[in-house]
Chains A and B, each alone.
Chain A
Amino acid sequence: MRRAELFTAVVFALLSGYLMWKSAELPVGWIPDKGPAGGAFPFWLSAAMLACSAWIFVRALRGATPESRTHGPFMDGPTVKLLAMAGGSLLVALILITWLGFYVAIPFLFVFWVRLVGRRSWMTTGILAVTVPVLTFFFFEIGMRILLPKGITEPLFYPLYQTFF
């Protein structure tokens, strides 16, 4: 926990530095009679963030926060596994969305969680994996006219578009 606390402060300091450099692509000074230039707002906020990260780092070194006094691991084994599963499933879902579209990614999420993690019956899994995408299609695409990305499965939807639009 203590190491994570110190590490996060360093990451924020580096991020602040990067943000300052990035903001400086625009003038960051003061235009007389007009106030701050375009990049000034993010630049000085990032500078303040850098100061804040230093403050957090010093407090952590001195053990001023409860987190910096805890020496146990930031996450234990089972938690890491659980979260890797959650994060991993979302990552796979996002890649699926880009490549094969939402209507492959949604059933994937249900099969993964309901069947593989939750160990529910194929029946429950199937019902959810079919009804949710169908509802999504009708609500977003037909109701709100927002076309969701379908990747290379797009041609499969042409008949549906022809029926409903």
Chain B
Amino acid sequence: MDTLVHLAGGFATAFEPLNFGLLVLGCTVGLFVGALPGLGSVNGVAILLPITFFVPPTGAIIFLAAIYYGAMFGGAISSIMLGIPGASTAVATTFDGRPMAMKGEAHRALVAAAVASFVGGTIAVILFTLFAPPLAEFALRFGPAENFALMVVAFATFVGLSGDDIPKTILSILFGLILSAVGLDIISGQPRLIFFDLPGFYKGISFIVLAIGIYGIGEILWTLDSSKGRVEIAQHKIGFRNIVQAIIELRKTWRTMGLCSLLGYFVGILPAAGATPGSLMAYGMAKSMSKNSKNYGKGEINGVVAPEAANNAASTGSMLPMLTLGIPGSPTTAILLGGMIIWGLEPGPMLFITHEGFVWGLIASLYTANLFTLLINLAFIPLFIWVLRTPFAILAPVIFVLSLVGGYAPGSSLHDVWLILIFGIAGYLLRKLNYPMAPAVLAIVLGPLAEKYFRQAMIISHGDVMTFVERPLSAVFVAMAAVLVCMPIYSALKRRRAAAG
């Protein structure tokens, strides 16, 4: 009951003219960002975060969450029309979406993607509303030791579940943590890691600098590298009647939609997983459960529905740990979390008490964003297809300018802009060698919090490290982290034994 009252208050916040305007703008921008090949939600949020500093935090998070959402819808558009995923979260959508478009059924695929995204998002946000308050209440019992242990779990999930090369993942985490330590020591106030005595390092390295470097500049370099060839747009005329008809046909897919939404939501909650693996898993699940699994990959509508329902559900799921525990569930939410810190909010369970309006405004806006993205998406499908033709020679300088100006604005420092260039180039080169970059972004956001919690816990326990295993909740988290780290080692050993016969 309490939840409903809060939610009603949240809707009142979400429908305030400024917030509502930002929501619709965010959905639209998100759709474009998602639809443009090479740019996904994380790029959009990273590049546009600096421009939200002039609106109140509630409006800012509503805008960014709407971008996150819109991008999940939008990714499908280029997956279907161009055959190249608009974002990594829409990779699985190409498997069947592209063949459908080639058969002249682009409208069916686009509508299926949009409706599935809506259903996935809505199921997830309902679960979110039910889970978030109890989880936040539970998390209120956490002290610094538990909070630190929880962050260790977040890092351990990357090692255990991301599927990337393990030493490279660990190195990425460590590097992010070290970057976060630059600046003034939080307890003694002494300067540390002031490279070459440059004064710019005294205020530390903001996560925005790393995020814009990697997801703005680095992404464009990556796209330049990987898409040298031209791409062909599927030709199609889409009328109102085909859209209605396509919606009616979707009745047959409700089971896939429901199951994949649930799967996506729970995968999204895990810190390392998020929408990309969620959508791939959902595709796999739908295929293995289907009676006509042979049709998958040739233009099966369930093959479009499954990943699209899952990626939207996962994007909502990843906000649950961000809001309630202060642990982001995906790179995009890591950036949102960093934004919250800049806006002066302390992420974590206290938000539900100290900033009720902010939290419930965001939750209500997710419901609304879902609906509006669906409507905007269906209404403007032809426009999005037209925009997809934006040549890369125009897109590249636009992103460059946004990255440079956006990187300068938060700190008014050219030092940051130089760092963005360096991180962008380095990030691209490392990505080529399969170093995962998301762990570093998560680490630079969580680093200052992790160090603070660790040292607070140490001061409380008079320097006794055993506090992390003596406190029961913290011990549970430490055990979880240990299991997560051991998982890949165990499976590697098993593989080796199997290979040895």
A interface, CB within 8 angstroms of B:
1, 4-5, 8, 12, 19, 22-23, 25-26, 30-39, 41-42, 45-46, 48-49, 52-53, 55-56, 59, 65-67, 74-75, 78-79, 82-83, 86-87, 89-91, 93-94, 97-98, 102, 105-106, 109-110, 112-114, 117-120, 124, 128, 132, 136, 139-140, 143-144, 146-149
Give the chain B neighbours of A98 by CB distance below 8 A. 414
Quick check: B393 and A19 within 8 Å, CB to CB? no
Question: 9 additional contacts, CB 8 Å, given A41-B454, A79-B225, A113-B394?
Answer: A23-B192, A90-B421, A94-B418, A105-B404, A113-B397, A113-B400, A140-B409, A144-B409, A148-B408
- List residues of chain B with CB within 8 A of the CB of A59: 167
- A12 and B178 within 8 A (CB): no
Instruction: Evaluate contact between A26 and B174: CB separation under 8 angstroms.
Output: no
Does A45 contact B193, Cβ atoms closer than 8 Å?
no
How many inter-chain residue pairs (CB < 8 Å) link A and B? 170
Task: Please judge, given known A-B contacts A23-B192, A25-B192, A120-B391, whether A110 and B397 are in contact too, CB under 8 Å.
Answer: yes
CB distance from B57 to the nearest CB of A (A): 16
Judge whether B185 is part of the interface by a CB distance below 8 angstroms: yes
A34-B463, A56-B171, A118-B391 known; A148 vs B178 contact (CB < 8 Å)? no
Contact status of A139 and B51, CB under 8 A, knowing A52-B174, A118-B393: yes
A109 near B434 (CB under 8 angstroms)?
A: no
Check B335 for interface membership: any CB of A closer than 8 A. Answer: no
A128 and B394 contact, CB distance less than 8 A: yes
Q: Contact between A45 and B177 (Cβ–Cβ < 8 Å)?
A: yes
> Which residues does chain B contribute within 8 Å of A114, judged by CB atoms?
393-394, 397
Answer yes or no: B188 CB below 8 A from chain A CBs: yes
Minimum CB distance partner of B455 in chain A: A35
Binding site of A, secondary structure by majority: helix, strand, loop or mixed?
A: helix
CA distance A33 to B189 in the complex (A): 19
- Find chain B residues with CB under 8 A from A25 CB: 192
Q: What is the bound-complex CA distance between A102 and B462, given in angstroms? A: 52
Asked if B174 and A49 sit within 8 Å, CB to CB, the answer is yes
Give a binary string over B363-407; 1 marks a CB under 8 Å from any A CB, 0 the rest.
Answer: 000000000000000000000000000011110111011001100
What are 13 residue pairs bridging A and B, where the CB atoms are less than 8 Å apart in the complex?
A5-B433, A19-B193, A26-B192, A34-B462, A37-B188, A45-B174, A87-B425, A94-B404, A110-B397, A118-B392, A140-B405, A144-B53, A144-B409
Residue numbers in A under 8 Å from B401 (CB-CB)? 106, 109, 132, 136
For residue B459, CB closer than 8 A to chain A, the reply is yes
Kindly state whether residue B221 has any CB partner on chain A within 8 Å.
Answer: yes
Look across to chain B and name the residue whose beta carbon is closest to the beta carbon of A145. Answer: B54
A94 touches B421 (CB 8 A): yes
A153 to chain B, nearest CB (A): 15
* Contact flag A149-B414 (CB < 8 Å), given A66-B434, A82-B228: yes
